[in-house]
Amino acid sequence: MNKKILLVCYCILVLLGFSASAQQSFTLNDTVPLPDVGDVPKFNAYHYVFKKRLDSIQTTVPLSYNEYVQEYIDIYAGRKEMIGKMLGLSDYYFPIFSKALKSYNVPEEIKYLPVIESAMDPYAVSRVGATGLWQFMFTTARGYGLSIDRYVDERRDPIQASYAAAAYFRDAYEELGDWLLAIAAYNCGMGCVKRAMERGNTADFWELRNYLPKETRNYVPAFIAALYVMNCADKHEIIKRAAPFRLETDTILVNRFVSIPDLAKTLEISEAELCSLNPSYKKKLVNGTNDAPKRLVLPRTGFEAFARVYAILNSDEHPAEAKLLLAANMDSERRNPLKQKPAFILHRVLKGQNLSVIADKYHVEVQDLKVWNGLRSAAIMPGQKLKIYLEDNFRGRKS
C-alpha cells in the first residue's frame, strides 16, 4: 500500500514538474510579466463605450474589442500609479519612438509596446536577459545593428533601440502580412507565429490564438488594452506624473572619455537624472573617441552652465574611471594577446535544404538567419555559407 502511495505521489510530482517546465518555456517576457487572465475570461458586460473609444483611436493596427481585451483594460486601468508614471515618461519617449517607426513605415500605434514590454524603463532586464525599453536579447540586438560592449549597451539607448525595433516590425510585417501577427511575433518569434498559422490554417490572430504560447495569446490583447488606457487615462481617473528628468534636452557628440557623475556635478543636477538621459553607458562613462564619437544628451541649460560643460569636454585630463578602465584594458590585452574566436559558425547549405530546415537544425529562427546573413528573401543555394550564431540561447526575436 505504501509503495502504491509513493508511486502515485512520484507520478504527480513528475507531471507537475513537466507542467512547470512547459509553462516556464512559454514565459517569454518576464521583466513586466503579463497578468494571467486564464484561457476563457468572464465577459460580464460588453462595454460599447470602450469599443467606441478604441474605434476612435484606431488608424492602421486593428484594435479589436473582446473579452480578452476587456480583461486587460480592467487590469491596467486599476494600475493607476504605474500608468500615471508612464504617461509622464511618454512625453519624452513617444516622440523618439514615433520618429523611428515612421522612418520604416511602421504604424505609430506600435509605440505603445514598451508599456507592456518594460514599463518604459530603459534599464529593465528580464530573467532571460532581454534588455531595455524594447526588450531585445543579445543576438537579435546585434543582428539589428545595436552595439553591445564593455562600455555601451545600445539596447538601453531609446533612439538606437527604437530604430532596431522599427526595422524588426518592418521585417515581421513583410513576412507575415498582418500587424497583429507582427506584434505576436515580437513576443514569440516569426517562426512560432508561422507554425501557428499553418496549424490553424488562418492568418487571423484571434482565430489562431489558441495555437500560440500562452503568453503570446495574452500579449496582443494586453497591447490593445495598454494603448486604450494610455489614451483614455482621464476616463479612468488616472493622473499623469511628471517624468524624473527634464524633457527639453540638447544632444552633442563627444570624442573623449567623459564622466557622467562629474558632468552632473558641473551642471548642478542629480547623477540619476543625467544617467536617465544617457542609459546606454554601462559604467557612467561616455567613451567617445575621434574615430567613434558618442552621443551625449544633456538637459537644456543656460550659457553659463554650458561654458562649464565645454571646459570639461575639452579637458586633456581623463576622468579617474577612464584611467582605471584603460589600464585594465591594456592589462587584459597583455594577458590575452590573441583575439577571441568569432561567436558564430559557418554552415554550408546542402542540396534540398532551405532556411526552415537549417533553422530547425540549430534551434534558431528563420528571421535570425536572414538578419545574420543579410538575406532579403528566403532563397538560398547549395554550397552557400551561412553564419550561425550560437553564443546565446534564444527564442524568436528575444535571442
* Torsion on CA atoms 386, 390, 392, 397, rounded to nearest 10: 30
The whole-number pLDDT of residue 325 equals 52
Domain count for the chain, please give it.
3
Cβ contacts of 207 within 8 Å, gap of 6 or more: 200
Q: Residue 39: its pLDDT value, please? A: 55
One digit per residue, the tens of pLDDT, for the chain of length 399 reads 444 444 444 444 434 333 333 322 223 334 455 666 555 555 555 678 899 999 998 789 999 999 999 999 999 999 999 999 999 999 999 999 999 999 999 999 999 999 999 999 999 988 778 899 999 988 889 889 999 888 999 999 999 999 999 999 999 999 999 999 999 999 999 999 999 999 999 999 999 999 999 989 999 999 999 999 999 999 999 999 999 999 999 999 998 889 999 899 988 899 999 999 999 999 899 998 889 999 999 998 877 777 788 777 776 665 555 555 554 444 444 445 444 445 678 999 999 899 888 887 887 777 778 878 888 778 899 989 998 886 443 334 443
State which amino acid sits at residue 284: K
3-class DSSP assignment, residue 55: helix
Beta bridge pairs of residue 298 = 250
Residues 47 and 154 in one domain: yes
Q: Are residues 67 and 85 in the same domain?
A: yes
Structural domain including 296 reads: 249-335
Residues 355, 291 within the same domain: no
Residues 394, 392: Cα–Cα separation, whole Å:
6
The verdict on 215 and 262 lying in the same domain is: no
Strand-pair partners of 125: 131
For the record, the C-alpha cell of 343 comes out as 561567436
Question: What's the pLDDT at 320?
Answer: 55
**How far is the C-alpha of 307 from the C-alpha of 321, rounded, in Å?**
23
- Nearest CA-CA partner of 129 in 344, 364, 398: 398
Locate all alpha helices (DSSP H) within 177-281, ordered by sequence: 179-188, 190-200, 205-208, 214-231, 260-267, 271-277
CB 397 within 8 A of CB 136: yes
Buried b (16+ CB within 10 A) or exposed e, 280-318: bbebbbbbbeeeeebbbbbbebeeebeeebeebbeeeeb
In a domain, 21, yes or no: no
Query: Is residue 366 a part of any domain in this protein?
Result: yes
Same domain (yes/no): 177, 322 = no
Which residues fall within 8 angstroms of residue 193, CB to CB, at 6 or more apart? 176, 181, 184, 185, 212, 216
Set of cell numbers at residue 242 = 511628471
Q: Judge if pTM exceeds 0.85.
A: no
| Together in a domain, 205 and 232 | yes
Residue length, the chain? 399
- Closest to 312 measured CA to CA, from 285, 342, 330, 281: 285
* Residue 130 shares a structural domain with residue 229: yes
CA 354/CA 198 separation, integer angstroms? 17
